[in-house]
Amino acid sequence: MMPQRPPMKTAQGMQLDPRTKVYLLLLINIVIFATNPSGFQLLAKGALAAIPFALLCSAGKWKQGFIYAVLYVAGQLAETYLTAYAAGLWGLLMRFTAQMLNRFVPIVIMAYYLVRTTEVSAFIAAMERMHVTRKIVIPLAVIFRFFPTIVEESRAINDAMRMRGIGFRGSPVAMLEYRLVPLMMSIAKIGNELSAAALTRGLCITGERTNIYKVGFGVMDAMLGLWATAAAILFFIL
Amino acid sequence: MSKKKLDVKDLINVGIFSAIYYILLVVAGFLGYIPIFSVLFPIVVALLCGIPFVLFLTKTKTFGLITIMGVLLGILNLAFGAGWYSIITGLLCGLLADLICKAGEYKSWKHMVACFCVFSEWVIGSMLPMWIMKDSYFAMISDMQGAAFAESLESLVTGWMLALLMVLTAVAAIIGAYLGKAVLKKHFVRAGIA
Protein backbone atom coordinates (compact mmCIF):
# COMPACT_ATOMS: atom_id res chain seq x y z
CA MET A 1 0.00 0.00 0.00
CA MET A 2 1.15 3.49 -0.78
CA PRO A 3 2.29 5.15 2.39
CA GLN A 4 0.06 8.05 3.18
CA ARG A 5 1.99 11.27 3.14
CA PRO A 6 2.19 12.76 6.59
CA PRO A 7 -0.25 15.60 7.01
CA MET A 8 1.02 19.14 6.84
CA LYS A 9 2.12 20.44 10.24
CA THR A 10 0.12 23.33 11.52
CA ALA A 11 1.41 25.74 14.11
CA GLN A 12 0.46 25.26 17.74
CA GLY A 13 -3.01 26.63 18.36
CA MET A 14 -3.76 26.89 14.65
CA GLN A 15 -5.49 23.53 14.52
CA LEU A 16 -8.82 24.33 12.90
CA ASP A 17 -11.93 22.24 13.23
CA PRO A 18 -12.66 20.39 9.96
CA ARG A 19 -16.11 21.95 9.94
CA THR A 20 -14.56 25.43 9.92
CA LYS A 21 -12.42 24.50 6.96
CA VAL A 22 -15.42 23.21 5.02
CA TYR A 23 -17.36 26.36 5.90
CA LEU A 24 -14.50 28.59 4.74
CA LEU A 25 -14.22 26.64 1.48
CA LEU A 26 -17.94 27.03 0.83
CA LEU A 27 -17.97 30.76 1.58
CA ILE A 28 -14.95 31.44 -0.64
CA ASN A 29 -16.66 29.43 -3.33
CA ILE A 30 -19.97 31.26 -3.16
CA VAL A 31 -18.43 34.71 -3.10
CA ILE A 32 -15.85 34.14 -5.79
CA PHE A 33 -18.33 32.69 -8.23
CA ALA A 34 -21.17 35.02 -7.37
CA THR A 35 -20.80 37.92 -9.74
CA ASN A 36 -18.26 40.10 -11.31
CA PRO A 37 -17.01 42.21 -8.43
CA SER A 38 -16.19 45.88 -8.63
CA GLY A 39 -15.03 48.60 -6.25
CA PHE A 40 -15.43 47.71 -2.60
CA GLN A 41 -16.54 44.21 -3.48
CA LEU A 42 -13.00 43.58 -4.61
CA LEU A 43 -11.84 44.35 -1.08
CA ALA A 44 -14.32 41.90 0.43
CA LYS A 45 -13.27 39.28 -2.09
CA GLY A 46 -9.64 40.01 -1.31
CA ALA A 47 -10.34 39.59 2.39
CA LEU A 48 -11.67 36.11 1.66
CA ALA A 49 -8.85 35.27 -0.70
CA ALA A 50 -6.42 36.24 2.06
CA ILE A 51 -7.64 33.34 4.22
CA PRO A 52 -5.88 30.57 2.24
CA PHE A 53 -2.75 32.77 2.26
CA ALA A 54 -2.84 33.16 6.04
CA LEU A 55 -3.48 29.46 6.50
CA LEU A 56 -0.59 28.47 4.25
CA CYS A 57 1.74 30.81 6.11
CA SER A 58 0.55 29.53 9.47
CA ALA A 59 1.42 26.02 8.30
CA GLY A 60 4.95 27.19 7.55
CA LYS A 61 4.46 27.07 3.78
CA TRP A 62 5.80 30.59 3.28
CA LYS A 63 7.02 30.04 -0.24
CA GLN A 64 3.77 28.54 -1.50
CA GLY A 65 1.85 31.24 0.32
CA PHE A 66 3.71 34.03 -1.39
CA ILE A 67 3.50 32.40 -4.80
CA TYR A 68 -0.25 32.15 -4.29
CA ALA A 69 -0.51 35.80 -3.22
CA VAL A 70 1.48 36.99 -6.23
CA LEU A 71 -0.61 34.86 -8.62
CA TYR A 72 -3.88 36.07 -7.16
CA VAL A 73 -2.95 39.75 -7.18
CA ALA A 74 -1.51 39.48 -10.70
CA GLY A 75 -4.68 37.76 -11.92
CA GLN A 76 -6.92 40.34 -10.27
CA LEU A 77 -4.93 43.29 -11.63
CA ALA A 78 -4.86 41.75 -15.10
CA GLU A 79 -8.60 41.20 -15.02
CA THR A 80 -9.39 44.69 -13.78
CA TYR A 81 -7.02 46.75 -15.89
CA LEU A 82 -5.76 44.80 -18.87
CA THR A 83 -8.63 42.75 -20.24
CA ALA A 84 -10.58 45.83 -21.29
CA TYR A 85 -7.94 46.54 -23.89
CA ALA A 86 -7.30 43.03 -25.08
CA ALA A 87 -9.20 41.79 -28.09
CA GLY A 88 -9.28 38.74 -30.29
CA LEU A 89 -7.76 35.39 -29.51
CA TRP A 90 -5.04 36.78 -27.24
CA GLY A 91 -7.59 38.69 -25.24
CA LEU A 92 -9.61 35.53 -24.83
CA LEU A 93 -6.64 33.51 -23.65
CA MET A 94 -5.58 36.26 -21.29
CA ARG A 95 -9.05 36.56 -19.79
CA PHE A 96 -9.16 32.84 -19.22
CA THR A 97 -5.78 32.86 -17.53
CA ALA A 98 -6.67 35.83 -15.33
CA GLN A 99 -9.92 34.07 -14.43
CA MET A 100 -8.08 30.92 -13.53
CA LEU A 101 -5.67 32.83 -11.33
CA ASN A 102 -8.14 34.83 -9.31
CA ARG A 103 -11.06 32.44 -9.23
CA PHE A 104 -9.84 28.89 -9.20
CA VAL A 105 -6.54 29.32 -7.42
CA PRO A 106 -7.98 30.49 -4.06
CA ILE A 107 -10.47 27.62 -4.09
CA VAL A 108 -7.89 25.05 -5.07
CA ILE A 109 -5.49 26.29 -2.38
CA MET A 110 -8.25 26.17 0.24
CA ALA A 111 -9.22 22.66 -0.85
CA TYR A 112 -5.55 21.63 -0.77
CA TYR A 113 -5.19 22.98 2.74
CA LEU A 114 -8.36 21.20 3.82
CA VAL A 115 -7.17 17.88 2.43
CA ARG A 116 -3.58 18.11 3.58
CA THR A 117 -4.15 19.27 7.15
CA THR A 118 -7.14 17.14 8.03
CA GLU A 119 -6.72 13.64 9.33
CA VAL A 120 -9.30 11.34 7.82
CA SER A 121 -10.47 10.28 11.29
CA ALA A 122 -10.85 13.88 12.38
CA PHE A 123 -12.89 14.58 9.27
CA ILE A 124 -15.18 11.62 9.94
CA ALA A 125 -15.56 12.65 13.58
CA ALA A 126 -16.52 16.20 12.62
CA MET A 127 -19.01 15.07 10.00
CA GLU A 128 -20.59 12.61 12.41
CA ARG A 129 -20.94 15.44 14.90
CA MET A 130 -22.95 17.25 12.24
CA HIS A 131 -25.14 14.14 11.84
CA VAL A 132 -24.31 13.70 8.18
CA THR A 133 -25.28 10.19 7.15
CA ARG A 134 -22.44 7.68 7.05
CA LYS A 135 -23.42 6.75 3.51
CA ILE A 136 -22.06 10.12 2.45
CA VAL A 137 -19.33 10.60 5.05
CA ILE A 138 -17.40 7.40 4.39
CA PRO A 139 -17.15 7.76 0.59
CA LEU A 140 -16.30 11.44 1.04
CA ALA A 141 -13.50 10.56 3.45
CA VAL A 142 -12.22 8.00 0.96
CA ILE A 143 -12.23 10.62 -1.80
CA PHE A 144 -10.21 12.93 0.44
CA ARG A 145 -7.74 10.23 1.14
CA PHE A 146 -7.55 9.28 -2.54
CA PHE A 147 -6.99 12.49 -4.42
CA PRO A 148 -3.33 12.78 -3.41
CA THR A 149 -2.82 9.05 -3.98
CA ILE A 150 -4.28 9.16 -7.48
CA VAL A 151 -2.13 12.13 -8.42
CA GLU A 152 0.99 10.42 -7.09
CA GLU A 153 0.24 7.11 -8.81
CA SER A 154 -0.54 8.75 -12.12
CA ARG A 155 2.73 10.67 -11.92
CA ALA A 156 4.63 7.41 -11.45
CA ILE A 157 2.76 5.77 -14.34
CA ASN A 158 3.43 8.82 -16.47
CA ASP A 159 7.16 8.47 -15.85
CA ALA A 160 7.09 4.78 -16.67
CA MET A 161 5.19 5.35 -19.89
CA ARG A 162 7.50 8.16 -20.96
CA MET A 163 10.40 5.80 -20.48
CA ARG A 164 8.69 3.39 -22.85
CA GLY A 165 8.10 6.19 -25.32
CA ILE A 166 4.32 6.20 -25.06
CA GLY A 167 3.31 9.83 -25.19
CA PHE A 168 0.77 12.17 -26.65
CA ARG A 169 1.96 11.52 -30.19
CA GLY A 170 0.54 8.01 -30.41
CA SER A 171 -3.15 7.34 -30.87
CA PRO A 172 -5.33 8.88 -28.17
CA VAL A 173 -7.03 5.56 -27.45
CA ALA A 174 -3.68 3.87 -26.80
CA MET A 175 -2.68 6.74 -24.56
CA LEU A 176 -5.91 6.48 -22.62
CA GLU A 177 -5.46 2.74 -22.29
CA TYR A 178 -1.82 2.87 -21.23
CA ARG A 179 -2.44 5.51 -18.57
CA LEU A 180 -5.87 4.69 -17.29
CA VAL A 181 -5.66 0.92 -17.06
CA PRO A 182 -2.56 0.71 -14.86
CA LEU A 183 -3.89 3.59 -12.78
CA MET A 184 -7.18 1.83 -12.15
CA MET A 185 -5.42 -1.44 -11.45
CA SER A 186 -3.34 0.09 -8.71
CA ILE A 187 -6.21 2.16 -7.36
CA ALA A 188 -8.47 -0.89 -7.18
CA LYS A 189 -5.77 -2.74 -5.29
CA ILE A 190 -5.13 0.11 -2.88
CA GLY A 191 -8.87 0.35 -2.41
CA ASN A 192 -9.14 -3.28 -1.40
CA GLU A 193 -6.38 -2.83 1.14
CA LEU A 194 -8.01 0.32 2.40
CA SER A 195 -11.30 -1.43 3.02
CA ALA A 196 -9.51 -4.23 4.84
CA ALA A 197 -7.80 -1.64 7.00
CA ALA A 198 -11.08 0.15 7.62
CA LEU A 199 -12.79 -3.08 8.68
CA THR A 200 -9.94 -3.78 11.07
CA ARG A 201 -10.46 -0.38 12.61
CA GLY A 202 -14.10 -1.19 13.12
CA LEU A 203 -15.58 1.20 10.61
CA CYS A 204 -18.42 -1.23 9.98
CA ILE A 205 -19.69 -1.09 13.53
CA THR A 206 -23.04 0.56 13.66
CA GLY A 207 -23.78 2.78 16.57
CA GLU A 208 -21.63 5.44 18.08
CA ARG A 209 -17.89 5.18 17.63
CA THR A 210 -15.31 6.82 19.79
CA ASN A 211 -12.59 8.82 18.17
CA ILE A 212 -9.09 9.76 19.27
CA TYR A 213 -9.39 13.17 17.65
CA LYS A 214 -11.04 15.82 19.69
CA VAL A 215 -12.95 18.05 17.37
CA GLY A 216 -14.31 21.28 18.64
CA PHE A 217 -14.30 24.97 17.89
CA GLY A 218 -11.54 27.15 19.29
CA VAL A 219 -10.58 30.80 19.22
CA MET A 220 -9.05 30.55 15.75
CA ASP A 221 -12.21 28.91 14.40
CA ALA A 222 -14.31 31.74 15.72
CA MET A 223 -11.98 34.43 14.38
CA LEU A 224 -11.67 33.00 10.88
CA GLY A 225 -15.35 32.12 10.73
CA LEU A 226 -16.39 35.65 11.74
CA TRP A 227 -13.87 37.24 9.36
CA ALA A 228 -15.13 35.19 6.43
CA THR A 229 -18.79 35.68 7.26
CA ALA A 230 -18.32 39.42 7.61
CA ALA A 231 -16.47 39.59 4.30
CA ALA A 232 -19.19 37.57 2.56
CA ILE A 233 -21.98 39.72 3.99
CA LEU A 234 -20.16 42.89 3.01
CA PHE A 235 -19.63 41.48 -0.45
CA PHE A 236 -23.33 41.00 -1.01
CA ILE A 237 -24.42 44.28 0.61
CA LEU A 238 -21.97 46.52 -1.23
CA MET B 1 -27.36 -11.68 -7.24
CA SER B 2 -28.26 -8.49 -5.58
CA LYS B 3 -27.34 -7.96 -1.98
CA LYS B 4 -29.76 -6.18 0.27
CA LYS B 5 -27.64 -4.05 2.54
CA LEU B 6 -24.88 -1.56 1.88
CA ASP B 7 -21.69 -2.40 3.71
CA VAL B 8 -18.57 -0.39 4.33
CA LYS B 9 -16.71 -2.04 1.49
CA ASP B 10 -19.34 -0.80 -0.95
CA LEU B 11 -19.10 2.71 0.43
CA ILE B 12 -15.33 2.68 0.08
CA ASN B 13 -15.67 1.49 -3.51
CA VAL B 14 -18.04 4.34 -4.29
CA GLY B 15 -15.49 6.77 -2.88
CA ILE B 16 -12.66 5.37 -4.95
CA PHE B 17 -14.53 5.38 -8.23
CA SER B 18 -16.03 8.80 -7.62
CA ALA B 19 -12.48 10.09 -7.09
CA ILE B 20 -11.26 8.58 -10.38
CA TYR B 21 -14.36 9.82 -12.19
CA TYR B 22 -13.88 13.32 -10.84
CA ILE B 23 -10.21 13.47 -11.76
CA LEU B 24 -11.06 12.51 -15.35
CA LEU B 25 -13.78 15.16 -15.30
CA VAL B 26 -11.25 17.79 -14.25
CA VAL B 27 -8.94 16.68 -17.06
CA ALA B 28 -11.83 17.08 -19.49
CA GLY B 29 -12.57 20.47 -17.94
CA PHE B 30 -9.28 21.87 -19.16
CA LEU B 31 -10.66 21.54 -22.68
CA GLY B 32 -12.96 24.42 -21.70
CA TYR B 33 -10.19 26.74 -22.83
CA ILE B 34 -11.46 26.21 -26.37
CA PRO B 35 -14.87 27.94 -26.65
CA ILE B 36 -16.75 25.11 -28.39
CA PHE B 37 -15.49 22.53 -25.92
CA SER B 38 -17.00 24.25 -22.91
CA VAL B 39 -20.36 23.26 -24.41
CA LEU B 40 -19.26 19.79 -25.49
CA PHE B 41 -17.88 19.07 -22.02
CA PRO B 42 -20.50 16.44 -20.96
CA ILE B 43 -19.78 14.47 -24.12
CA VAL B 44 -16.06 14.33 -23.42
CA VAL B 45 -16.76 13.28 -19.83
CA ALA B 46 -19.09 10.51 -20.98
CA LEU B 47 -16.44 9.20 -23.36
CA LEU B 48 -13.62 9.31 -20.82
CA CYS B 49 -15.45 8.01 -17.79
CA GLY B 50 -16.86 4.86 -19.38
CA ILE B 51 -13.90 2.81 -18.25
CA PRO B 52 -14.06 3.55 -14.50
CA PHE B 53 -17.85 3.52 -14.48
CA VAL B 54 -18.18 0.08 -16.07
CA LEU B 55 -15.60 -1.30 -13.66
CA PHE B 56 -17.58 0.31 -10.85
CA LEU B 57 -20.78 -1.34 -12.08
CA THR B 58 -19.19 -4.79 -12.08
CA LYS B 59 -18.52 -4.31 -8.37
CA THR B 60 -21.96 -2.92 -7.62
CA LYS B 61 -24.64 -5.29 -6.53
CA THR B 62 -26.67 -3.13 -4.21
CA PHE B 63 -29.29 -0.48 -4.72
CA GLY B 64 -28.25 3.02 -3.69
CA LEU B 65 -24.58 3.09 -4.62
CA ILE B 66 -25.02 4.78 -7.99
CA THR B 67 -27.27 7.37 -6.35
CA ILE B 68 -24.60 8.06 -3.74
CA MET B 69 -22.02 8.44 -6.49
CA GLY B 70 -24.20 11.02 -8.25
CA VAL B 71 -24.63 13.03 -5.06
CA LEU B 72 -20.91 12.83 -4.25
CA LEU B 73 -19.93 14.08 -7.69
CA GLY B 74 -22.41 16.91 -7.23
CA ILE B 75 -20.85 17.81 -3.88
CA LEU B 76 -17.38 17.78 -5.43
CA ASN B 77 -18.63 20.02 -8.21
CA LEU B 78 -19.99 22.44 -5.63
CA ALA B 79 -16.72 22.40 -3.68
CA PHE B 80 -14.70 23.17 -6.78
CA GLY B 81 -16.89 25.96 -7.95
CA ALA B 82 -19.23 24.58 -10.59
CA GLY B 83 -22.45 25.57 -8.84
CA TRP B 84 -25.02 23.68 -6.82
CA TYR B 85 -27.24 22.62 -9.71
CA SER B 86 -25.19 19.50 -10.22
CA ILE B 87 -26.10 18.15 -6.78
CA ILE B 88 -29.73 18.02 -7.91
CA THR B 89 -28.97 16.56 -11.32
CA GLY B 90 -26.50 14.16 -9.70
CA LEU B 91 -29.19 12.94 -7.33
CA LEU B 92 -31.83 12.62 -10.05
CA CYS B 93 -29.63 10.99 -12.70
CA GLY B 94 -28.02 8.76 -10.10
CA LEU B 95 -31.38 7.59 -8.78
CA LEU B 96 -32.76 6.93 -12.27
CA ALA B 97 -29.61 5.11 -13.28
CA ASP B 98 -29.80 3.08 -10.09
CA LEU B 99 -33.40 2.08 -10.83
CA ILE B 100 -32.45 1.02 -14.37
CA CYS B 101 -29.61 -1.12 -13.10
CA LYS B 102 -31.83 -2.62 -10.45
CA ALA B 103 -34.29 -3.63 -13.16
CA GLY B 104 -31.42 -5.55 -14.77
CA GLU B 105 -30.52 -7.02 -11.37
CA TYR B 106 -27.07 -5.40 -11.67
CA LYS B 107 -25.82 -7.93 -14.19
CA SER B 108 -27.57 -7.28 -17.49
CA TRP B 109 -25.19 -5.48 -19.86
CA LYS B 110 -28.01 -3.73 -21.73
CA HIS B 111 -29.28 -2.23 -18.52
CA MET B 112 -25.78 -1.14 -17.61
CA VAL B 113 -25.38 0.75 -20.88
CA ALA B 114 -28.73 2.44 -20.38
CA CYS B 115 -27.72 3.20 -16.80
CA PHE B 116 -24.51 4.92 -17.91
CA CYS B 117 -26.42 6.89 -20.55
CA VAL B 118 -28.74 8.29 -17.92
CA PHE B 119 -26.00 8.80 -15.37
CA SER B 120 -23.81 10.79 -17.76
CA GLU B 121 -26.50 13.43 -18.13
CA TRP B 122 -25.77 14.74 -14.62
CA VAL B 123 -22.78 16.72 -15.93
CA ILE B 124 -25.18 18.97 -17.80
CA GLY B 125 -26.26 20.21 -14.37
CA SER B 126 -23.12 22.30 -14.11
CA MET B 127 -24.13 24.02 -17.34
CA LEU B 128 -27.82 24.52 -16.59
CA PRO B 129 -27.40 28.16 -15.43
CA MET B 130 -26.67 28.91 -19.09
CA TRP B 131 -30.22 27.94 -19.93
CA ILE B 132 -32.17 28.75 -16.79
CA MET B 133 -30.73 32.17 -16.08
CA LYS B 134 -29.72 32.95 -19.62
CA ASP B 135 -29.71 36.74 -19.48
CA SER B 136 -27.84 37.27 -16.25
CA TYR B 137 -25.47 34.43 -17.04
CA PHE B 138 -24.42 35.92 -20.34
CA ALA B 139 -24.18 39.40 -18.89
CA MET B 140 -21.70 37.90 -16.40
CA ILE B 141 -19.81 35.93 -19.05
CA SER B 142 -19.65 39.01 -21.20
CA ASP B 143 -18.14 40.93 -18.27
CA MET B 144 -15.73 38.15 -17.44
CA GLN B 145 -14.62 36.82 -20.77
CA GLY B 146 -15.44 39.59 -23.19
CA ALA B 147 -18.32 40.12 -25.58
CA ALA B 148 -16.83 38.06 -28.40
CA PHE B 149 -16.69 34.91 -26.30
CA ALA B 150 -20.14 35.52 -24.83
CA GLU B 151 -21.64 35.90 -28.29
CA SER B 152 -19.98 32.81 -29.68
CA LEU B 153 -21.27 30.89 -26.67
CA GLU B 154 -24.73 32.46 -26.63
CA SER B 155 -25.36 31.55 -30.25
CA LEU B 156 -24.96 27.92 -29.17
CA VAL B 157 -27.27 28.04 -26.19
CA THR B 158 -30.78 27.38 -27.40
CA GLY B 159 -33.50 25.00 -26.36
CA TRP B 160 -32.87 22.50 -29.12
CA MET B 161 -29.17 22.68 -28.39
CA LEU B 162 -29.89 21.41 -24.88
CA ALA B 163 -31.87 18.50 -26.32
CA LEU B 164 -29.14 17.81 -28.87
CA LEU B 165 -26.52 17.95 -26.13
CA MET B 166 -28.44 15.40 -24.07
CA VAL B 167 -28.78 13.07 -27.06
CA LEU B 168 -25.11 13.43 -27.98
CA THR B 169 -24.12 12.80 -24.37
CA ALA B 170 -26.17 9.63 -24.38
CA VAL B 171 -24.52 8.49 -27.63
CA ALA B 172 -21.09 9.30 -26.21
CA ALA B 173 -22.03 7.35 -23.10
CA ILE B 174 -22.85 4.29 -25.21
CA ILE B 175 -19.47 4.54 -26.92
CA GLY B 176 -17.83 5.10 -23.54
CA ALA B 177 -19.55 2.08 -22.05
CA TYR B 178 -18.43 -0.18 -24.90
CA LEU B 179 -14.93 1.23 -24.65
CA GLY B 180 -15.05 0.44 -20.96
CA LYS B 181 -16.28 -3.08 -21.63
CA ALA B 182 -13.52 -3.72 -24.17
CA VAL B 183 -10.86 -2.50 -21.75
CA LEU B 184 -12.42 -4.51 -18.95
CA LYS B 185 -12.32 -7.67 -21.02
CA LYS B 186 -8.80 -7.05 -22.25
CA HIS B 187 -7.21 -6.16 -18.93
CA PHE B 188 -9.22 -6.41 -15.78
CA VAL B 189 -10.92 -9.76 -16.18
CA ARG B 190 -7.57 -11.34 -17.01
CA ALA B 191 -5.99 -9.74 -13.97
CA GLY B 192 -8.84 -10.96 -11.81
CA ILE B 193 -9.92 -7.51 -10.72
CA ALA B 194 -13.32 -7.28 -12.37
Residue A180 lies in a domain: yes
List the single residue in B with minimal CA-CA distance to A26: B79
| Mean pLDDT score of chain B | 80
Residue A207 lies in a domain: no
Residue A10 lies in a domain: no
Residue A156 lies in a domain: yes
pTM of the predicted model, to two decimals? 0.81
Q: Residue A92 belongs to what domain range?
A: 18-120+216-237
Query: Phi and psi of B92, rounded to 5°?
Result: -65, -50
Q: Which residues of A touch B76 (CB under 8 A)?
A: 143
DSSP string, A97-111: HHHIIIIIHHHHHHH
| Amino acid letter, B32 | G
List the single residue in B with minimal CA-CA distance to A109: B80
Interface contact flag, A95 B149, Cβ < 8 Å: yes
Question: Do A104 and A29 have their domain in common?
Answer: yes
Question: What is the pLDDT confidence band of residue B68, given thresholds at 50, 70 and 90?
Answer: very high
How many distinct structural domains can be found in chain A? 2
Question: Do A88 and A108 have their domain in common?
Answer: yes
Q: What is the pLDDT of residues A61-75, one digit of tens each?
A: 888 888 888 888 888
Query: What residues 106-135 of chain B have any CB closer than 8 A to a CB of chain A?
Result: none
List the single residue in B with minimal CA-CA distance to A202: B8
Residue A100 lies in a domain: yes
Q: What is the pLDDT of residues B94-153, one digit of tens each?
A: 999 989 988 888 778 888 889 998 898 888 877 777 676 666 667 666 666 666 667 777
Question: Do A140 and A188 have their domain in common?
Answer: yes
- pLDDT at residue number A11: 58
Question: Do A143 and A34 have their domain in common?
Answer: no
Interface contact flag, B64 A135, Cβ < 8 Å: yes
Average of per-residue pLDDT across B57-75:
88
Closest CA to A7 of A70, A75, A68, A59: A59
Residue A9 lies in a domain: no
- Per-domain boundaries in chain B: 8-127+166-188
